[in-house]
Amino acid sequence: MSKRRRLGLIVVLGVAITAAAFFALRPREPVYLNRLLSFWFDQFNTTNRPQAATAIRQIGTNGIPFLLEKAKSKDGDTLYEKLYRTIYYKVPFGIKRRLPLPKPIENTYDYRVANTLQLLGPPAVPQLIDAMGNRHSKVRLAAVRVTRLIGPEANAAVPALAKLVNDSDGEVRVEAVLALRFMGPNKKLATQALIGALGDSDRGPKPGSTVYVKGNAARVLGEIGPQAQVAVPALTKLLSDTDPYAREEAAVALWRINHDTNVIPVLLAELEAANEAPRYGIILTAFGEMGPAAKPAVPAIMKTIRERRGMPNPHGIDIPEVALKALKKIDPDAPKDRE
């Protein structure tokens, strides 16, 4: 046997041994009722969802590393499925019609990962906190989303979430801010991080995409209330932002933090310019919270009721109803006198 051939055999043997060691030493995928976790994960997206949920709960936190690994995939496809889809759409029609259709792309795959992990509840939180430091942005994103779904019982994650408010990935940043909303009183510990987020670029991970970090950070600061007094200067600066959502949320936050009625003209201007139901909802709800202090807004609210009555919107928000509720809190006599 030549020296070159011997060297080739040694290399092949080395690769084979390395591969065998990798598969032998890696953790074994958890099993329930003789079915791998991967099977139950796929079943969670079918009519067999209840049984799959039971199986995943029975497997418990041992399944977290495997589920987080799945988060790295963009759409859940295996390498074979990706390759088959690519080839399928390139072959001639005569051949294509004899082949099975490729698996449809699952656009909500990353949410399925999060919803599956949520089944494990508060016991999953320590591993989720660890995952927030993962180098893969999809893993960090999944961990943050699950934390939000678990809610206040995951409040030990607040320091980790506060760090992710400054993440390099825009989607992770906004999800971290959204998760803080659901962390109960402990979210006040993230006040400084949220103040920093008021200056976010709002650029998403895809070219031209927007993630609305600033507006959501302002909302969370408003929900913290008077304990977020330190945020007032930054929120006041945000009132002149180019994004109307950020301006509205900053104005509402300033009211919630220190009952500053100077924001009423700002909100009135935003109400006049509003063109989406959620924007109407934010502003009108804030006026309702202000009660009698918002009496200068009554004419504009009445105008909104008249102009928006019977007008459909894709968000399912009944704008006139929201306006009437606000009006009753501001001036109980106004609806019957001015409708």
Q: Domain boundaries in the chain?
A: 212-259, 265-339
- Residue 31 host element (H or E): strand 31-32
Burial label for 216, CB within 10 Å (0-12, 13-18, 19+), is: buried
Phi, psi angle pair for 183, to nearest 5°? -95, 10
Amino acid at 52: A
Residues in the chain: 339
Structure confidence by residue, pLDDT tens digits, 185-241? 999 999 999 999 999 999 998 899 999 999 999 999 999 999 999 999 999 999 999
**Confidence class for position 258, pLDDT limits 50, 70, 90:** very high
Amino acid at 59: I
- The answer for residues whose C-beta is within 8 angstroms of residue 243's C-beta and 6 or more apart is 202, 212, 214, 215
For residue 324, the Cα-to-chain-centroid distance in whole angstroms is: 31
Q: Determine the 3-state secondary structure of 58 from DSSP.
A: helix
Residue 283 CB coordination number (10 Å): 28
The reported pLDDT for the residue numbered 8 is: 44
**Confidence class for position 105, pLDDT limits 50, 70, 90:** low
Closest CA to 273 of 295, 251, 292: 251
Cα distance between residue 246 and residue 200, in whole Å: 11
Q: Determine the 3-state secondary structure of 246 from DSSP.
A: helix
The reported pLDDT for the residue numbered 110 is: 82
Phi, psi angle pair for 231, to nearest 5°? -85, -10
Taking all residues of the chain, what is their mean pLDDT, rounded to a whole number? 88
Measured CA to CA in angstroms, residue 70 lies from 14, 24, 127, 145, 278 at distances of: 29, 20, 15, 14, 34
State yes or no: pLDDT of 4 exceeds 70. Answer: no
Cα distance between residue 265 and residue 23, in whole Å: 65
Q: Residue 190 carries which DSSP code?
A: G
Structure confidence by residue, pLDDT tens digits, 277-333? 999 999 999 999 999 999 999 999 999 999 988 777 777 889 999 999 999 999 988
**Confidence class for position 73, pLDDT limits 50, 70, 90:** confident
CB 236 within 8 A of CB 271: no
Residue 311 CB coordination number (10 Å): 9
The helix-helix angle for 319-330 and 298-308 (nearest 10°) equals: 160
pTM: 0.83
Cα distance between residue 113 and residue 74, in whole Å: 11
**Confidence class for position 15, pLDDT limits 50, 70, 90:** very low
State yes or no: pLDDT of 76 exceeds 70. Answer: no
State yes or no: pLDDT of 103 exceeds 80. Answer: no
Helices (H), 151-276: 158-164, 170-181, 191-197, 213-224, 232-238, 244-258, 264-273
Which residue shows structure tokens 């598969």? 23
Cα distance between residue 200 and residue 62, in whole Å: 37
Report how far apart the first and last C-alpha atoms of the chain are (Å, whole number).
99
The reported pLDDT for the residue numbered 335 is: 60
- The answer for residues whose C-beta is within 8 angstroms of residue 72's C-beta and 6 or more apart is 136, 138, 139
The reported pLDDT for the residue numbered 19 is: 41
CB 165 within 8 A of CB 217: yes
**Which residues on adjacent β-strands are paired with residue 35?**
32
Mean per-residue pLDDT, 168-180? 98
The reported pLDDT for the residue numbered 90 is: 77
Cα distance between residue 56 and residue 146, in whole Å: 15
